[in-house]
A and B are shown apart, each in its own frame.
Chain A
Amino acid sequence: MSGLHQDGLLQQMTAKALRLNVPLNVQLDLTYRCNEKCVHCYLDHHDHGEMTTAEIKHLLSEMAEAGVFILTLSGGEIFLRKDFFEILEHARRLMFCVKLKTNAVLIRESEAAKLRDLDIESIQISIYSHRPEVHDAITLLPGSLKRSVDAIRFLKSQGLRVIMANVLMTANMGDYPGVRALAEELGVECTLDPTVTPMMDGDRSILKLNVDRDSLRQVFRDESMVGDAEEFCAIAAAPGEDELDATPCSAGHTACYVSPYGDLFPCVQFPLPTGNVRRERFVDIWRHSSAMNEVRSIRIKDLTTCPSCPHVSSCTRCPGLAYMEGNMRGPSSQDCEKSFARTGVPSANMLAKARRAANLVQIRAVPARAAVPQAGAMA
């Protein structure tokens, strides 16, 4: 009776969940309120009616029944909820594999010890620089770097797995090696995300904080980050039929996102409304929402521009960012930029845009004097 298997399991279980339409992985934001006011944040921090403790516990029970295994609790700042530990205890009682995302400013020794006792899988903490003047200027909370780093030490002393998450933007571009060194000193993992995304309401003004193409290229060629730069920056082989028949990402397939107000979306970066768990059962939205099923129906070969792109096999295209650009089957320009910075080869979308821009030059050829009265008439 040999009953235990280990190798390559997460992939196998994800493939099985995909086949059985099981939401293996859910991010639940407990609040959008936050004690930091990060300049690049995509959230509206006002409380528009968060789910109550009872509602969240009920939702967790529904999610356990639906087969959710990995539960990421995030925000906003999760420790601003006075019932946070009550929710976490309930989640662990239901035997979820719990991951936390926090700025850790409110974690001291006692909170770290409680988290250890509750056997969370990992805790991800946002660190934008190793220098207080840079980190605190991004969080707009004086002293925040010190408090977050102190918290990391408390968590490490409890033996917890800590991951430092760094978002790269113009304000901290030069500091990612320092953040990595800090992570090494603290004995924790470190991730780097080079993408500032639009706000959930569609406001794209914060995209100006994104690093420019040259900076991105520099990061993608930094072998301390990517390993073998030549291999990392190579253009992938043309896709086979299987790859074109694959799903674009896990959003809506084995993963989804629930907001503090009970709205269920395919992903935290994919604000397509599919239903609300205050009005319908979680599993009913997951299985029967027409919006969710539309997302689920899309294969890479169905995308508008991407199947003919040289980067289709290696692109990090985010369907949510594409949706926020106006078409969930379209390209995600920010990922086109990343593919271009990585390889030096423009994406099919970039070439198409360039052709459209070239056509617009002919419109500009209309004499300027003729255009002025029209503009004045509109005003």
Chain B
Amino acid sequence: MKRRLVVIGNGMAGARAVEEILKRDPEAFDILMFGAEPYGNYNRILLSNVLNQTQSPSEIFLNTLEWYQENNITLHVGMKVTHIDRVSKKVFALKLSAEDIPYNKAIQGIDGDHFVEVPYDELIIATGSRPFVPRIKGSELPGVFLFRTIEDCDQIADYAKGCQKAVVIGGGLLGLEAARGLMTHDLEVSVIEAADQLMPSQLDLESANLLERAMGAMGLRVFTKTFTSQIVAKDGRVSRLIFKDGGILETDIVVISAGIVPMTEVAEKSGLKTNKGILCDDQMRTEDPHIFAVGECIEHRGLTYGLVEPIWQQVGVMADILTGVNSETRYVGSKTGTKLKVMGVDLASMGEKETDENDDEVLVYRDPNRGIYKKLIVRENKIHGAILLGDTGLSDSLMQLFMNEKELPENRGEILFGSIDGSKLLDAGDLPDSAQICGCNGVCKGEIVSAIENGNCSSVAAVGAKTKAGMGCGSCRGFIAQVIESVVGEVSYDASEHYYVPGIPFEKSQLVREIRSNGLKSVSVVLATLGGGQEDPTTKTGLASLLKTLWPKEYEDERDARFINDRVHANIQKDGTFSVVPRIIGGVTTPEELLRIAQAAVKYKAKMVKFTGGQRIDLLGIKKEDLPNIWKDIGLPSGHAYTKAFRTVKSCVGTDFCRFGLGDSISLAKEIEMRFQGVEAPHKVKMAVTGCPRNCAEALVKDVGVVAIEGGQWEIYIGGAAGSTIRKGDLLCTVDNPQAVIQYTSRFLEYYREHAKYLERTYGFVERIGIDLLKGILIDDNMGICLNLESKMQEAVDAYKDPWKEAEDPVYPFQFDGPQLIEVLQEAENNG
């Protein structure tokens, strides 16, 4: 018979404990979990992102319903355990009603209530903590919220809709994250802190003052040394705060984030010893040998924790004990470090913030103008504490040096600024197996090494797939690569990382060979022939783009393989309408064209008319059914603002008007845009032609950029970028006439079309292949393929058709239709 394991609390500690136990011995227990919240386990840390609207609640779940099912775990959600009968070894729980808040102390269960009762052999308490609410009159009023659960975030977002001003009570880590989150709801936010500085547990006064300045610059008001005594409501809604000194602050919503208190009442009611938290020993046992406790609800060696890292260590020890894998393991406490998750502010802190010991070295670097402050406290040549504000480049390395008590380099400048010769401050190879590499998902070096040695993982992606390391914020990926290097000598890349599309196990050149030699001309035929009959939806768009390149004329276009934008030749918007960007060649237009665009914008009620970053005009908010007519009215070809294809050529006025112009940039820009318009590629291609090195058309940061220079010459730069990546283009060559520009550009673009991976922009491609190699191939023609590249490109250019011509002749019925209205004749059709 399996032993019965019951877990109270389905939060970060409870669910992780179960995972660790299953990892060690999946057969040891019948597992049953109680969670007071009405859903599965989610990553509480990411609530800050939910509140600041960068992630949706559905994106932060950690364990899916399937996970519980697959592992045969019985999960009781929305049920709160009220007490434990330690003699009969039973747990009693109560169903919460929809309005109940899990951390409400008042919910105790009354005699005669409907209880669920389950027996246990071993029990884990992982009830976490509840927000601390200081004694403030009115803290129960409508419009006052806490910040701990998904439910809290939903309620805050909902209530914030009718508000203009917000107050956060509490200027600690979470309070600041809450304040930043509220700002994204268009609120004017103030933070009230009782201490004389922000984040008193992590920062010294000087860094706190700098932080206050940085927050102020973002529009946040901070009041320190301010005690709130009362919250007042008007017409049933919060309206103002009254401070102890008599001061008043108007507000429409209040969020209290003033610290946390371990939830100990289940343990207390069941006669277990508690102090600040549930007391437990180095094996996470409470005084009852069959009851364990982990997470924020515990007190261990006099300490309570409010962070996840200690939890990963605690549950590892407990799982060892419970499964009997190692009955000697001990948890001896955790060192902690934190990062503030506030957009626009870089802040990390670890260990002590101040020291009185004369023997400690204190290194401080200040650059207040740039908002930079770094302080390191060194004791016995190890980091004892650190604060990094404004520049956290080294924080991951310092955190590892701190956590693992590593000796520091003699040159102290290196720990403040990194080494001058670029060598590493810390080599992951030197870290012990127990070193936590991924803090987000709690993965230590030993697990990564074992994934590399036993799981044959030799790429960062493979290690991530196996261990979850690097799959959170991603900042530890460099370390993972170092660990791989130290074990197998070199980091490799997954074969599947090289597949051109996920559903077909070939890299690009193999795939091209297969497609060509078998004469495969449509996506469905390729999938049937090479994809084993599977039709992975994410594979289709990549294949369509490749096939169009390989068979410019004979390609059998299947619209179901296209993304919606490419089905209707416009960009889908967040509300399901579309945007229309007509082609304005080289950025040059005429009054007649502008008139037609203006009239169309009026007629089809464009929600906005905007000049794009690509020197043309965007009509936004157009209904799908209106697309064909608006295109006809505008009478210009598509600007391809939506597709993975050649897009625009930005220009400057050049010799036509500019007193500095060295080359006729407008004519060349127009000629290039006319030639390459709409030619499909692995990703979008943007160009610029500029009339002199002052570079008003920003040619050095384009996929292809052309710069006129003295002596009638033109420089061609490739692989520039200024989007999510910034890269200065590499000089491919300098030529002395515009026709040569077109010729070399054709070669490069065709080579890119044939050899880049799907969705690889030229900045990645040029970097990967290397400019010297590209010069050899495209300029010196050392592979003898240049003629072929040029003629292939000519074929693609000749095959171009303006997609907006489909306005006259849709390729399938209802291509541009909205929802089909159906009249339901209930009586006639009802068969029930």
A binds B: no
Q: Which A positions have Cβ atoms within 8 angstroms of B? A: none
